[in-house]
Structure 1
Amino acid sequence: MLRRGILSVRSRLTPGDLRETATALAVRALELPELAHARTVAAYVSVGSEPGTLALLDTLRARGVRVLLPVLMADNDLNWGVYVGEGSLARVQHAGKMALLEPVGERLGPEAVQEADAVLLPGLAVDRRGMRLGRGGGSYDRVLARLERAGADPALVVLLYDAEVAERVPEEPHDHPVHAVVTPSGVRRFR
């Protein structure tokens, strides 16, 4: 029910709202020391009414940061490819899911995320403990479990709209808290 409510609010955002918040998110995110010093960042390309990421991805790339983007596999796990600009993205329609923008070119494997100094996560909400509510597909739960098994400890940052920071979101045993949330109005840290 919480997911449906958030998606309903997002669906009412205008193109102007989306552009404005994408710019503000990029500015706020780029202030994070974790991104300022990162050599590799695993991120994602926003689609639809998700908080916009392309301005952030382009700025990171212009700074010389290696940006990894996910490629959804049939089992909902994520493979990774390198972002080399908006022209290197293809719209891919996955059966029964929304169309995603994915990098074309070489696939680096699911383990490539372990090279990231920071991981930017999509989400629908985060609570005061840093627990993230995703869309429910489990793709990023697999990524976070893979990082934990490998002993990798990148900064975990979720990008959201201001109203999506909640008092509490549902939590399952496999959920991992994030380190920070970036919204158009600022950054909130959790540990």
Structure 2
Amino acid sequence: MNTHMPGKPALRRELLAARRLLSEEDVRNASAVLARRALELPELAGAGTVAAYVSVGREPGTRALLDALRERGVRVLLPVLLPDNDLDWAVYEGAERLVRAGRGLLEPDGVRLGADAVLRARAVLLPGLAVDGRGMRLGRGGGSYDRVLGRLERAGAGGGAGVGGGAGAVLAVLLYDHEVVERVPEEPHDRPVHVVVTPGGTRRFAGA
């Protein structure tokens, strides 16, 4: 019996409730700072391809970051949710090329590149609700990014990650300051991220 399981839903409810209290101005201001801090990461500065996602609602904003990366000439991959909760990928070609999909998500309307396209990314930005001092991330519980992380790990084990990506990719999560917590409940398949970016600063995790 996994004694950690009851902790994740309760922590998710608490963190989502805190996000609902944020004003649109709070979210907008945080988004600008997060973009600036994330762009300072050397892994993003030197990346040819970055896998990211489109923030929705009161998630820590990624829109400004996506546009800034694209303006730099970075190839930005965005997820497309498949019926089985796995993720396909397509290139970000601007906000006007995003379409509303299931669960309120925004996805690119371009050519689907396949689930393995993420293996070309030098950096992978993961959505999350919290991260702790070990780099353990709390997601929303859908399992989509568990599959992505498993794919990256398997590619690394097989030596087939591709030039500049795959297992060598930095795993980063963008959060609000209060979402860096003391402890995130974990399961055996959970993997730590390398870095968390918040409006208050950037923190790297040695154990990742």
TM-score, shorter chain, exceeding 0.5 = yes
**Residue 114 of structure 2 aligns with which residue?**
109
TM-score normalised by structure 2 residue count: 0.89
**Residue 186 of structure 2 aligns with which residue?**
171
Matched, 1:156 2:156: no
Write the distance in 2 (CA, Å) between the matches of 1:165 and 1:176.
16
Matched, 1:146 2:151: yes
Matched, 1:11 2:26: no
Write the distance in 1 (CA, Å) between the matches of 2:28 and 2:185.
30
Q: Which amino acid aligns with 1:58?
A: D
Matched, 1:189 2:198: no
Task: Indicate the larger mover: 150-159 or 115-124.
Answer: 150-159
- 1:52-131 to structure 2, matched below 5 A, reads 52-92=61-101, 94=102, 98-131=103-136
Write the distance in 2 (CA, Å) between the matches of 1:22 and 1:127.
21
> Deviations along 1:118-137, whole A, 9 cap, x unmatched?
00000000000000000000
> Which secondary structure does the structure 1 equivalent of 2:100 belong to?
strand
> Deviations along 1:148-176, whole A, 9 cap, x unmatched?
00112200000000000011101011111
* Structure number with higher strand proportion: 1
Q: Considering only aligned residues, what root-mean-square deviation do their CA atoms show, in Å?
A: 0.6
- The higher radius of gyration belongs to 2
> Which secondary structure does the structure 2 equivalent of 1:182 belong to?
strand
TM-superposed CA distance for 1:185, in Å, is 1.0
> Which secondary structure does the structure 2 equivalent of 1:90 belong to?
strand
Gaps of 5+ in 1: none
> Which secondary structure does the structure 1 equivalent of 2:150 belong to?
helix
Write the distance in 2 (CA, Å) between the matches of 1:186 and 1:40.
24
Aligned length: 187
Write the distance in 2 (CA, Å) between the matches of 1:79 and 1:176.
21
Write the distance in 1 (CA, Å) between the matches of 2:201 and 2:38.
8
Write the distance in 1 (CA, Å) between the matches of 2:142 and 2:95.
25
Gaps of 5+ in 2: 1-9, 157-165
Write the distance in 1 (CA, Å) between the matches of 2:40 and 2:110.
30
TM-score normalised by structure 1 residue count: 0.97
Identity within the alignment, %: 70
